Structure 1
Amino acid sequence: MSQRPTEKVAFSLRNPAVRAWLYQIFAVVLLVACLGYLLHNTITNLTTRGITSGFDFLSRGAGFGIVQHLISYDEGDTYARVFFIGLLNTLLVSALCIVFASILGFVVGLGRLSDNWLIRKLCTVYIETFRNIPPLLQIFFWYFAVLRNLPGPRQSLNAFDTVFASNRGLYLPSPEMSSGFWAALVALLLAVGGILFLKRYNHFRQIHTGLVWRIWPWCVAMLILFPALAQLIFGPALHWDIPKLKGFNFGGGVVLIPELGALTLALSVYTSTFIAEVIRSGIQSVSYGQHEAARSLGLPNPVTLRQVILPQAMRVIIPPLTSQYLNIVKNSSLAAAIGYPDMVSLFAGTVLNQTGQAIETIAMTMSVYLVISLVISFLMNIYNRRIALVER
């Protein structure tokens, strides 16, 4: 039998494959040339102005105070410690806003679908109002018009003489470890393990008998009784440092500064409007036949929503919800407008002005937001893959 000769691809510009390879090579060469030019130009300008590059400045003393720091800090600490303080403050406000915006957005989104006319209209007004006001203006409103107009420390609002609110911030009792802390922690872990065991046993029993056992009273009892017994035997797990008025301000406890409160309120309210619309659209994407099928089985509305509608709606909700979480992290950089000590305010502001290391400080600040956003996207994508429909 005669074999067909192997066809050779002619190297010609008329060949689409050849043109595609040439275009890609040209694009790569052009990109490398642009990056090389920018790098050469940057090094030349730094040398001309006598500016040293590198990260040696991180070991130098900062010499300025920070109004809020989650780890210990004084003015003699290094710029590296300032970096970690700014990172923690950014993570704190981002985490608070994600939690509060998710809860508020979920409630408002359900309200938009309510059968009650008044609730539905109020939720619509809430969304259309706060969604169309720039977040920076909302931050200014909560900071200058609300929190800064609270009374001073001597006339502060208080609850049970343990929580105080003034124009200096919200003062709360701070927990401190006591002798029975580790025993209470072990007891809590045992309670959680018992709850997981009950859930697995209940699921196994439902599969084999069709009967469901109400385990929530036992779960609550274990969460309360196990740590309580540990405290009775080994002593209290925590003791509380109550804030007290000393002179012109409070001492002791923990304080949430007005800048943190204004930023959390503004970003939570602003982002919750978008999350509410995501929740509403996700629920409405589920076929109405699912509602009718659940109603025909006699399921009450809360059970239908929790067990039938939301699991299907989450497949539509998660991708746009991830974008809103990323927006919260990026919008947290607006904190610099009111002086909240986040990464932008501390590192891309104060540290840059003191050291002159513009490239290094801006690069580190950008890297922080990039890494935080990538981690959030990674975690949300993992959850999205777990709930995705898989075709068999």
Structure 2
Amino acid sequence: MTRVVVTGLGVKSPAGNTARDVFATVLAGKSLATAIPELADARVPVSIGCPLAPFEPDDYFGGRELRTLDRTSQIGLAAAIDAVADADGLPAEGCGVYVGTGGGGFATLENLIVGHTLGREKVPVHAVPTLMSSSTASRVAIRYGFRGPCLTFNTACASGATAIGEALRAIRSGVVGSAVAGGLDALLSPLAMEAFARVGALSERTHAPSEASRPFDADRDGFVMGEGAAFLVLERADLAEARGARVYGEVSGYAANCDANHIVAPLRDGSVAAECMRAALFDAGLDAGDIGHVNAHGTSTPHNDSAEAVALHACFGGRTPPVTSTKGVTGHLVGGAGALEAVIALLSAREGLIPPIANFAGGPEADLIDIVCGEPRSVAAAPVLSNSFGFGGSNACLVLTPSPDS
């Protein structure tokens, strides 16, 4: 089977704006959730979140371009630019762009609607290209002249992992030789936050933000919204070798399926999620015992974490490898989550260090899975499974393998 390697990483996230900074932050295992005054001023019932680390768009974009970029596109395009630079450039010929997003330009649309309704402003001439959910993918392609497929995926919280997996398939099948793939979202806006609060997805620990995101903990009550983006440069292994590219590892397996059960709730018995994990392992040519650890979807919602623990227990025959969820630190980046976690998972596998879950004090899931908490855990370098499960029952699982010289 065609090997697909990772040669570039780029991130913009609550945990930092380089892959190394992100990894160091999640190893510390401390939540980044904080009170957000703008949400409190808007009287949103949940006014906490994990905002992006300080980021200067002017470092990436000129004034004219910046005026046409939604915040989501600013974050995503900057992360993609960093990933391409980290890969030391890419040949434009035969390169595709694969982007996942759950909300696209939702926050900008919200601001435009509110401003227009109140008569504060006219709809700007660049509104349509700014708001297109496909805008980030198109802008990456335009910036570098990538004329391969330029595709945007929305599988809710699984979007980033889906984009990476579909890029893997495209390279394996010969559609492209390389790809820039990842995910992004920026949904810390009043309307988006109130909508997620109304559906009961968000933690209500507004009095203690740093304790709110607690994946698999018995006292969890919902996720903390984060914002950010992450991109990986994927290349056919022989092409990367020919140009002397530095290799982080491989995306060696991918699978996607659907619970087909409920629009927001996971299937409680985890059976379809377990099937997705098994299929990703099969796609990678690995057995369950080959996996060194799991970066779980682990959102900190009661039903999701319970269903995922059951699924992991079933997939690994009751003896799971160590399991972490870095959403305890970063919050939930929605479409960006699976991509950021793929970056963290690959670095964890390379370094042989698994980040601990923030705020985990115990719970019944610990009887089913081997939860990493308190401090990082040292393990031998080995393939890692990264799970992403979204509203609508969308499941996507990636297997990432560190390079032999890790």
Place the TM-score, normalised by the shorter chain, in its bin.
under 0.3
Higher percent of residues as helix? 1
User: What TM-score, normalized to structure 2?
Assistant: 0.21
TM-score (norm 1): 0.21
Quick check: which one's strand share is greater? Answer: 2
